[in-house]
Structure 1
Amino acid sequence: MTKPALLRISRKYTRPLAFDQFMRASIQITAARAEQLMVTEQWVIAEVLKVVPDATVEAKDLHGSGDHFHVRVISESYDGVRPLQRQRPILSHFKPFITQNTVHALDLKCMTPSQAEQMGDTSFDPHGEKEMQFFGVHIRRPNQE
């Protein structure tokens, strides 16, 4: 078939949407995705418990936007385990959500019950107004600000 013949066939069988129909469909799809991907503190807690079922988990939405979270994981199983090895399984579990930008930032504090008792409140917001001593890991993706 020649190129003009293919173009005639493609025009015949594809009907372009009017702009307003296209925009309405786009808005509906965007709203549906937003509802599906709405990340809450309860969702973060449930996801962490999938990785460390015996833990006590606290999550705080730092900005109220559903993408920056402080997560405190307290478990007896962390006794004698180095900090990075405590965080690695949780970060691996959240990697797809971070890659898709469903979750932008996780401030993870993984500790034993005795450490949690000594430290008290450990929440840290790298973009917050309060200055606190930083003792966690803040990772930024190179292509994001």
Structure 2
Amino acid sequence: MTKYPMTVEGAQALEAELEKLKKVERPRIVEAIAEAREHGDLKENAEYHAAREQQSFCEGRIQEIEGKLSNAQVIDVTKMPESDKVIFGVTVDIVNVDTDETVTYKIVGDDEADVKQNKISVNSPIARGLIGKEVGDVAVIHTPGGEVEYEIDEVKYI
């Protein structure tokens, strides 16, 4: 079975969502179904069908999260010896060689990726181009607009 890399924060976020779904959403939906049943005829009962649909979505999401957590390989970079090498879970500052623009990215698992928070998937073109490189190295990233060169400025194990 394949294990998928995940940061500690990513695993905690999934566990928190799972807890909320099981202890808050699931009981609320069950209550809504019971209340809708009291209205009588289930064939034309919109509240009942809406609640059942919510229940289906909730149970599906619970199974999905449990599956992801069971296949996760949680990696805590704060417990690793620090180096200048880019690996999964690190935060890296890169400088565009052409424009001198600096960008900071954290390399995370697929489910955690959020460009707005500068968290990029380990499988993204940028992360794939950076992994294995060290501070001072230049990484050539293939983008839809052509190749872009980034120099690795700093690697943080935070």
* Coarse TM-score class (shorter-chain normalised): under 0.3
Normalising by structure 1, we get a TM-score of 0.27
Normalising by structure 2, we get a TM-score of 0.25
Structure number with greater CO (CA < 8 Å, separation at least 6) is 2
